[in-house]
Amino acid sequence: MMRILLFLGTNLAVLLVLGAVLSLLEPWMIEQGINVNQAGILIIAVVLGMGGALISLALSKTMAIRSTGAHVIKEPRNETEQWLLSTVKGQAERAGIGMPDVAIYDSADMNAFATGMSRNNALVAVSTGLLRGMRRGEVEAVLGHEVSHVANGDMVTLTLIQGVLNTLVILFARIIGQLIDRVVFRNERGHGIGYFVAVIVAQLVLGLLASMVVMAFSRRREFRADAGGAALAGTGNMTAALQRLGQQSEQADLPEAVEAFGISGGVGAGIKRLLMSHPPIDERIQALQERRSQEI
């Protein structure tokens, strides 16, 4: 489940910084006689919106490694590390992608994640808790799940979706700010305090709604990655791995910034479900079983 929150957290931070800079520049541009119309705002929104998403994607591997303290395996130090490298290499070859970096991070939580800028520049990491708590067939299925995320191009697709949503957030937040500034505060010249407050609030609210859209996309992609893990390691192993994940505590032992990037899911309802990056474990197991029965 670690793949999404790191991206969203970095992306939101970049978006807020760039949005604040834009808000400060707009009054100065008006004072200098530079006409900032809706077309100009749209162009700026596209540049900042897509730029924020691309920056987040470019930083994803570095941020994931630093936030989890992961050790990237360059030279295997033991048989387990050698097995991890050879397993990921074989799965990557079967999936038609370049060899990802492989890492281990220290955590009692059974989890794993994949991130990176492209299919041929990715990172697959597993926790020490997952290596201790699962048998190798199950670990192989988890690795296959993460390799499938890379092969499916989920991070790149997520970046495009997030970039479009960023653009809309920046654009509509400023339109809302102008309306409130002129209609509520009756400010006809430049931008008053009402504009800046309205833009900040609108950007936070619209950003939350945009996150719900991204999370809905993430939940759908998890089913596909589970199917990929089953294809690479066997449906039995993938199902057993999910069952094992369902037995551990619902609260993952991961830094908040990367919590949604891992394989383990949670249980949620109502508004909580809208913010979940993963479907509940039982739904994922049911989907695997239905897929297996159809194949038979």
Query: Which are the contacts of 122, defined by CB distance < 8 A and separation ≥ 6?
Result: 61, 97, 98, 100, 101, 114, 115, 116, 150, 155
Task: Name beta bridge partners: 115.
Answer: 123
Order of strands, edge to edge, in the sheet holding 101-105? 71-72, 101-105, 121-127, 112-118
> Where are the chain's structural domains?
1-296
Q: What is the per-residue pLDDT across 14-30, written as a single tens digit (0 to 9) for each?
A: 556 655 666 666 665 55
Question: Which comes out higher in pLDDT, residue 245 or 189?
Answer: 245
Range 219-224 contact pairs with CB under 8 angstroms and sequence separation of 24 or more: 219/276, 219/277, 219/278, 219/279, 221/149, 221/152, 221/154, 222/265, 222/277, 222/278, 222/279, 222/284, 223/279, 223/284, 223/287, 224/148, 224/152
**What pLDDT is recorded for position 112?**
94
- pTM for the whole thing? 0.78
User: What is the chain's mean pLDDT, rounded?
Assistant: 82
Question: Which comes out higher in pLDDT, residue 107 or 259?
Answer: 107
Q: To which residue do tokens 């069952």 refer?
A: 243
* Catalytic residue positions, numbered: 146
Question: Which tokens is 169 given?
Answer: 């957030």
CB 254 within 8 A of CB 262: yes
Q: What would the mean pLDDT of 43-50 be, rounded to a whole number?
A: 76
CB 267 within 8 A of CB 171: no
Cα three-residue angle 131-89-56, rounded to 5 degrees: 80
Q: What are phi and psi for residue 97, nearest 5 degrees?
A: -125, 165
